[in-house]
């Protein structure tokens, strides 16, 4: 199973209803952790909040799954792109994602 599939599984399993309110689920999870997280802009925080590994290797794997064409050894630009793509994929698959987080 890939990283993107793991993200979908973690978010969909947290939903009580058929419709998946991504923002509500992640905000709820964020309230339950001790350290503040910025899941709205950080792919590292998003993965950590979902209790998934967020190492560079895992993010590079996710970039490969999502066909990232940039340099995976330059994590700053890759991370921004990954976060946007994950939010887009969640929205494309029926998730309710804040409009400012999707293209």
Structural domain boundaries of the chain?
Answer: 3-101
CA–CA separation, 88 vs 72, rounded Å? 20
Residue 95, judged by CB atoms within 10 A of its CB (0-12, 13-18, 19+), counts as: buried
Average pLDDT (11-35) is 86
Query: At 15, is the pLDDT very low, low, confident or very high (cuts 50, 70, 90)?
Result: low
Q: Which residues contact 75 (CB under 8 A, 6 or more apart)?
A: 56, 59
Within 10 angstroms of residue 79's Cβ, the number of other Cβ atoms is 18
Instruction: Please provide the average confidence, as pLDDT, over all residues in the chain.
Output: 92
Helix ranges (H only) for 1-103 are 3-13, 22-31, 43-49, 56-65, 75-92
Average pLDDT (46-67) is 96
Query: At 61, is the pLDDT very low, low, confident or very high (cuts 50, 70, 90)?
Result: very high
pLDDT at 18 over 80: no
Average pLDDT (84-99) is 94
């Amino acid at each position: 199973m890939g990283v993107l599939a793991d993200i979908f599984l973690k978010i969909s399993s947290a939903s009580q209803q058929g419709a998946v309110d991504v923002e509500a689920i992640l905000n709820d999870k964020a309230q339950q952790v001790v350290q503040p997280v910025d899941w709205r802009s950080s792919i590292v925080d998003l993965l950590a909040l979902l209790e998934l590994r967020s190492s560079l290797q895992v993010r590079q794997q996710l970039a490969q799954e999502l066909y990232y064409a940039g340099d995976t050894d330059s994590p700053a630009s890759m991370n921004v792109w990954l976060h946007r793509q994950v939010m887009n994929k969640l929205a494309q698959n029926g998730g309710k994602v804040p409009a400012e987080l999707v293209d």
